[in-house]
Structure 1
């Protein structure tokens, strides 16, 4: 069995290196460095230290993961012949991807990996920026930074900000959470005689010339509450406070039942914002819908029934479960196959839970707008074959229902006319479905058209110094025709 002894070069000068690490480096026959760009290497060279480095591997690869994979592969090959020393900056278990790869791949290759220690840069980093990590501190990799992992209420130390490109990626990620002028500290060679601290606004992070492989970025925790207004947890805190003992009387007395009408109103306002094609208005209205979700979730939490965490878990699990073509192996061709798969998975879920639907038409809410519900009911029936194959009989059905409605109105039978009028509308919904026309959206469009044209009549009368009592229908119809030409 071959062997690799992994040593840490420490974070600073040679005088900070433990004597045991120093002796192993100086006495070893085969020493390999991940990089020679470290303060102690030049000092060791003066004392006769010899080594090989993998700096050339960085030049050959564009992606850091590829660099680390190649370095690991080369180390294992060299260790097959004899015991070797592999030295890395800082401590082997702090921000060292190659060490983790060695531990994983060493077992497969029957190579023993011994971690002999070293000094981490973290102690020096904490001292340089004068923080206590017990307050809450994150250490993350600048080469693979993800917005979702960052907690801006804590101290954040971003390691491996090697160059301007990585600094630019880090800057853009942080700008999604923080103001452009938020002050951060660039720390290079923490704890060494070459230590350099530079405080800059976030937007200048990638313009600093001192970036190298010993650079880390410190982001102080947010103390300005207004910056946290983009944070989901802050919204959750606000809603909890509104519902709390010292909160708002209106919010405190709300129930799931009392909030129903507001959810419906806010949903319709979102539709208006979409039609306006106004992104700022849409963002505002979506926020109002989110408010309703948060209020319902807080009521559920207050009653000990569920929380917003349960809401999020439920929808996340459902989206993954019902999209196996995305989150598992397999592909689907087109939207129709996606919908078919969705319905089949949904059916299986209900069977497995013992909540099998009593009817094909189950699951269509009674509170839906009537035209929209009619369309949904017809689509469900069509999925099991209860549908015409051609449009001709649908036109005949429309004409039949209109004739029946006219007959009841002639007989002045209001109750039956009411039912027949519903049949007319239902038949027209079916006709629209055949032509892929959404009846709800179609009527909304007509309502808006009528609104605009009638408003034109009102404005025209006002401009002419007239009102509705002073003109007849023929006069109004002339203005209506003018309005039609403009829309």
Structure 2
């Protein structure tokens, strides 16, 4: 059986290496260093230790993952040939060492190679000591090359490693500025623990890629954000702000609200977001989406206060729903077209909600929806089981039928008949819109905007003529209305 000892070379000073590590290296049949780029290597040479490094693999590899994988495989092959192999890595083997992670994973449960990991001092220990930071209050270590998938936590200390050149520093800076802002003060750390070479400098985040002394032993330290007034906020800040607004010493208006009183605001904010989309205004859309998000946070806080659920439960439920309803993305199902996706979505949704009859599925469309949208969706669901006209002409014939029925009652005195027949007519028109794949809500909205624009034209024209609309005859206003129609308001110019 082969024996593989994984040892740490410490932060960089020779006196920070443990006696156990030195003894392991002295007694090794084969000693391998992940890299020769470490300050203590010169002392190992002075001690007369013979070793090999894997720097040649770094030169050949196209990605770090490929490099680490090749080093791992080579170490395993060597350990299978020799009885006592020592593999030395910078710092502590368990801190920011991918090859150690890979080795332990591959050799887990192996009967051929016995693995021993010898503890060592890490550069993190030096950083904690120099900055006088107690990790008990939170200390997150992040690979600077993994910031896309592993985010810093603004509420605790963060140490970003692997900032080994200015290109990486620039990439790290851009990602961190999205979270902390440009002017947030950070500490750039180089060669921590190496006397005469270590460097700790505090500077604004935006400037970290402008310094010319970055090397392979450089990290970035970010302290916790403690100010209420920040350059950049995130969702956790919004949750804290809402909790404070609802607290005993918070805002009286916010404290008075409940789910029912907030209903109108949720609807209003959604409409304002839609308005921003239709106006093609990114600035307004950013603001209005924030207002919609605030409503979600507001309702979640109220629910949390009565121990029903919280914002994280909302996120959890939505993530689970998205994963479950996309088996073609997160599972093994294969779905080729968008139509197939929608069909599968409906099947999954029906199963989720326990809708055992088609009528129940129609009833599941929320009554609080705008009537045109609700009618459209109900007709869609009915059509999926074959309850539909063969073509749009048949649907249009139904419109004429309902129009004639409405004509029979609209001058009558029975209010319920008029409501019923008008509803039937509108419902039939919605059906035609569905056949034509036109959103009836959008169509009516455009007509309203067109009406407002034409009405404004009449008012502006009257003012230019020195008239008030109130003093004009209907025929005079109708003349201007026909003029307004010539302007084609609310129609996009084709490019």
Q: Same fold (TM over 0.5)?
A: yes
Matched ranges for 1:136-175 at <5 A: 136-146=138-148, 149-175=151-177
Q: Which runs of 5+ in 1 are unaligned?
A: none
Identify if the C-alpha distance between structure 1 residues 200 and 246 changes in structure 2 by more than 3 Å, giving closer, same or farther. Answer: closer
Matched position secondary structure for 1:177: helix
What's 2:472 paired with?
471
The 10-residue stretch of structure 1 (359-368 or 377-386) with the greater mean CA deviation from structure 2: 359-368
1:273 maps to which of 259, 273, 276: 276
Is the Cα contact below 8 Å between 1:147 and 1:173 reproduced in 2?
Answer: no
CA offset at residue 355 of structure 1?
A: 7.9
Identify if the C-alpha distance between structure 1 residues 133 and 361 changes in structure 2 by more than 3 Å, giving closer, same or farther. Answer: same
Q: Is 1:424 aligned with 2:430?
A: no
Distance 1:356 1:402 in 2: 32
Q: Is 1:349 aligned with 2:334?
A: no
What's 1:58 paired with?
58
The 10-residue stretch of structure 1 (265-274 or 417-426) with the greater mean CA deviation from structure 2: 417-426
CA offset at residue 178 of structure 1?
A: 1.2
Is the Cα contact below 8 Å between 1:156 and 1:218 reproduced in 2?
Answer: yes
CA offset at residue 163 of structure 1?
A: 2.1
CA offset at residue 382 of structure 1?
A: 0.6
CA offset at residue 341 of structure 1?
A: 0.7
Matched position secondary structure for 1:375: helix
What's 1:202 paired with?
205
Distance 2:225 2:411 in 1: 74
What's 1:259 paired with?
262
What's 1:446 paired with?
447
Distance 1:171 1:103 in 2: 33
Q: Which runs of 5+ in 2 are unaligned?
A: 490-495
How many residues were matched structurally?
A: 485
Distance 1:282 1:452 in 2: 23
Distance 1:411 1:120 in 2: 89
Deviations 1:38-91 (Å, cap 9, x if unpaired)? 111012213322211111111112321211111000000011110211110011
Identify if the C-alpha distance between structure 1 residues 122 and 461 changes in structure 2 by more than 3 Å, giving closer, same or farther. Answer: same
Is the Cα contact below 8 Å between 2:72 and 2:99 reproduced in 1?
Answer: yes
Q: Is 1:321 aligned with 2:324?
A: yes
Q: Is 1:125 aligned with 2:130?
A: no
Q: Is 1:30 aligned with 2:30?
A: yes
Identify if the C-alpha distance between structure 1 residues 147 and 179 changes in structure 2 by more than 3 Å, giving closer, same or farther. Answer: farther
Identify if the C-alpha distance between structure 1 residues 410 and 244 changes in structure 2 by more than 3 Å, giving closer, same or farther. Answer: closer
Q: TM-score, normalised to structure 2's length?
A: 0.93
Identify if the C-alpha distance between structure 1 residues 413 and 91 changes in structure 2 by more than 3 Å, giving closer, same or farther. Answer: closer
The 10-residue stretch of structure 1 (415-424 or 324-333) with the greater mean CA deviation from structure 2: 415-424
Identify if the C-alpha distance between structure 1 residues 30 and 147 changes in structure 2 by more than 3 Å, giving closer, same or farther. Answer: closer
CA offset at residue 148 of structure 1?
A: 5.4
Matched ranges for 1:39-438 at <5 A: 39-82=39-82, 83-107=84-108, 110-146=112-148, 149-193=151-195, 194-227=197-230, 230-351=233-354, 359-409=360-410, 414-438=415-439
Is the Cα contact below 8 Å between 1:147 and 1:174 reproduced in 2?
Answer: no
CA offset at residue 144 of structure 1?
A: 1.4
Is the Cα contact below 8 Å between 1:138 and 1:156 reproduced in 2?
Answer: yes
Matched position secondary structure for 1:138: strand
The 10-residue stretch of structure 1 (147-156 or 86-95) with the greater mean CA deviation from structure 2: 147-156
The 10-residue stretch of structure 1 (249-258 or 30-39) with the greater mean CA deviation from structure 2: 249-258
Is the Cα contact below 8 Å between 1:229 and 1:235 reproduced in 2?
Answer: no
Is the Cα contact below 8 Å between 2:180 and 2:232 reproduced in 1?
Answer: no
Deviations 1:301-359 (Å, cap 9, x if unpaired)? 222222222222211111111111111123312221111111111122233xx987762
Is the Cα contact below 8 Å between 2:13 and 2:40 reproduced in 1?
Answer: yes
CA offset at residue 405 of structure 1?
A: 1.6
The 10-residue stretch of structure 1 (224-233 or 393-402) with the greater mean CA deviation from structure 2: 224-233
Distance 1:117 1:374 in 2: 68
The 10-residue stretch of structure 1 (432-441 or 399-408) with the greater mean CA deviation from structure 2: 399-408
Is the Cα contact below 8 Å between 1:350 and 1:356 reproduced in 2?
Answer: no
Matched position secondary structure for 1:118: coil
Deviations 1:365-415 (Å, cap 9, x if unpaired)? 112212111111111111111001212211211111112222223666554
Matched position secondary structure for 1:149: coil
Is the Cα contact below 8 Å between 1:7 and 1:115 reproduced in 2?
Answer: yes
Distance 2:175 2:98 in 1: 22
Distance 2:377 2:205 in 1: 51
CA offset at residue 145 of structure 1?
A: 2.0
The 10-residue stretch of structure 1 (147-156 or 260-269) with the greater mean CA deviation from structure 2: 147-156
Matched position secondary structure for 2:188: strand
Is the Cα contact below 8 Å between 1:228 and 1:234 reproduced in 2?
Answer: no
What's 1:20 paired with?
20
Distance 2:248 2:211 in 1: 50
Distance 2:339 2:128 in 1: 57
Distance 1:276 1:423 in 2: 33
Is the Cα contact below 8 Å between 2:350 and 2:361 reproduced in 1?
Answer: no
CA offset at residue 141 of structure 1?
A: 1.3
Matched position secondary structure for 2:213: coil
What's 2:492 paired with?
none
Is the Cα contact below 8 Å between 1:64 and 1:143 reproduced in 2?
Answer: no
Distance 2:60 2:394 in 1: 70
